[in-house]
Amino acid sequence: MNESRRTVSLGALALIGAITLSAGAQAQSPAPSDYPNRPLRWLIPFAAGGPTDVLARAVAPKLSESLGVPVIVDNRPGAGGGIAMEALARSAPDGYTIGMGHTGTQAINPHIYAKLAYDPLKDFSPITPLVSYVNVLVVNPQVPARTVAELVDYAKANPGKVTFASGGIGATNHLSGELLKAITGAPMVHVPYKGSAPALVDVMSGNVTMMFDILVTSLPQLKNGKVRALAITSDKRSEYAPDIPTMRESGVPGYAAAGSDLWFGVFAPANTPRAIVERLNAELVKAMDSAEVKERMRAQAYSRWTLRPDAFSEFLLTDQEKGGKVVGSAGIKAE
C-alpha cells in the first residue's frame, strides 16, 4: 500500500478526536470473561462463490479455530453491499456479529446514495483490513492503443467513440474509469452492467472499448489474447502481473494517490467493547498468516494488508474523502 494512505488531513484528525471521545465508553468497556461462548456470525456483502466470499470462507475456519467457537458465514448481497452493512450496524455490539466492508460500502456508497441506511464512520468499530487488490485497465485487442497515453489520445480524437464498461453505477471499476477521465480529460462514455462478468464479456466481443477489472478474472483472458492490458491502478506493479505498468508509469501521475486503493476489511457494530475488537484483530491477523489463507489470497490475486484498529480508522477517513472527490467530480448518483 502506498504512503498516501498514512497521510491524514487536519480535518480528518479533528474527526478522529471527536469519534474517539464519543467512543470513550467503548474503550473502557471490558470484554466478558467468557467471550466468546457461542458462534459468531460473519456478514458478507456479496453472493456465495465470489472472490469476497471465497476469502471469508478461507479465513472463517482459522478464526473459529482460534476463538474456539463456530464462525458462520452469512451472505447478504445487494445495494452495493449496503444490505449487509445495514444489518451489521443494527446488530448488538457484543462481538458476536461482524461484517466484511470494502471500498464501496465505506468510501463510495456514502457519496452516491441520497439516503444511506448506515453511517460508515459512526456505526462501526473497525477491526482490520484483510487484503488490498488492484484493477487492471483492459481493452479489446482491436482497439488501436497499446498504452494509456495512446488510449487517451484516441479518445480525444474520437469524442464519444471510446466507451468503458463497469459492474454498475458506483462500482469500484466505475470509479476507476471516472478517475481516469477526470485526470486526463479524455471524453469516455460509461456503460454500466449488472456485474463485472457481463461487462468483461462485452469488452472481449468488442461491444465496449475498455474496462477496469480485477486481476483474477482478467488474467486468464489476457493469456488467451481476448483482451489487452494497458495498466494497473496501484502505485506499484502487482506481484501477480509484474509486466503490466502502473498508471504513473503510463503517464497518468497522481492516479493511485487520488483514490485507486481497493480493499476488504472486517468491522463490528459501533460501541463493541475495545477488548473484543482487539481480540478479533489479533485473531484475524493470525488467520491471514496461515498457509491455507495465503494460498486462497494468491488464487484471488489479493495482497495481505492488516492494520491495528486505530490505524484502520484513520485510513477510512482519508479513503472516504478520496471517494467523495471522485464521485463529486463525476456527478455520480445511484439510480
**How does pLDDT run across 179-231, given as a tens digit for each residue?**
999 999 999 999 999 989 999 999 999 999 999 999 999 999 999 999 999 99
pLDDT above 60: residue 23: no
pLDDT above 50: residue 3: no
CA separation for the pair 81, 91 (Å, rounded): 16
Strands (E), the chain: 40-44, 71-75, 97-102, 124-133, 135-139, 163-166, 189-192, 210-214, 228-232, 262-269, 303-304
Name the more confident of 64 and 28: 64
pLDDT above 60: residue 15: no
* Phi-psi sector, 89: left (phi>0), alpha (psi -120 to 50), beta: alpha
pLDDT above 90: residue 329: no
What pLDDT shows up at residue 21?
Answer: 37
What pLDDT shows up at residue 256?
Answer: 84
- Residue keyed to cell 460508515: 120
The SS3 call for residue 293 is helix
What's the pLDDT band for 52 if we cut at 50, 70, 90? confident
CA separation for the pair 272, 277 (Å, rounded): 7
Residue 94 burial (CB < 10 Å; 0-12/13-18/19+)?
middle
Q: What is the mean pLDDT of residues 106-120?
A: 90
Containing 203, the helix (H) or strand (E) segment is helix 196-205
CA separation for the pair 151, 113 (Å, rounded): 31
**Which segment of 120-134, 183-197, 234-248, 252-266 scores lowest on mean pLDDT?**
252-266
Q: 168-184: per-residue pLDDT in tens? A: 998 899 999 999 999 99
> Which domains are delineated in the chain?
3-132+260-330 (3.40.190.150), 135-232 (3.40.190.10)
- What string of DSSP letters covers 30-99? PPPTT---S-EEEEESS-TTSHHHHHHHHHHHHHHHHHTS-EEEEE---GGGHHHHHHHHTS-SSSSEEE
Q: What percent of the chain has pLDDT over 70?
A: 90
Cα four-point dihedral sign 320, 323, 325, 329: negative
Phi, psi of 232 (to 5 degrees): -110, 160
Q: What is the mean pLDDT of the chain?
A: 89
What angle in degrees, to the nearest 10, is found between the helix axes of 51-67 and 291-299? 170
- Residue keyed to cell 491471514: 288
CA separation for the pair 306, 286 (Å, rounded): 10
Q: What is the mean pLDDT of residues 302-306?
A: 95
What pLDDT shows up at residue 30?
Answer: 65
What's the pLDDT band for 51 if we cut at 50, 70, 90? confident
The SS3 call for residue 280 is helix
- The DSSP symbol for 254 reads T
Planar angle of CA 283, 107, 261, nearest 5 degrees: 75
CA separation for the pair 188, 224 (Å, rounded): 26
What's the pLDDT band for 24 if we cut at 50, 70, 90? very low
CA separation for the pair 3, 245 (Å, rounded): 19
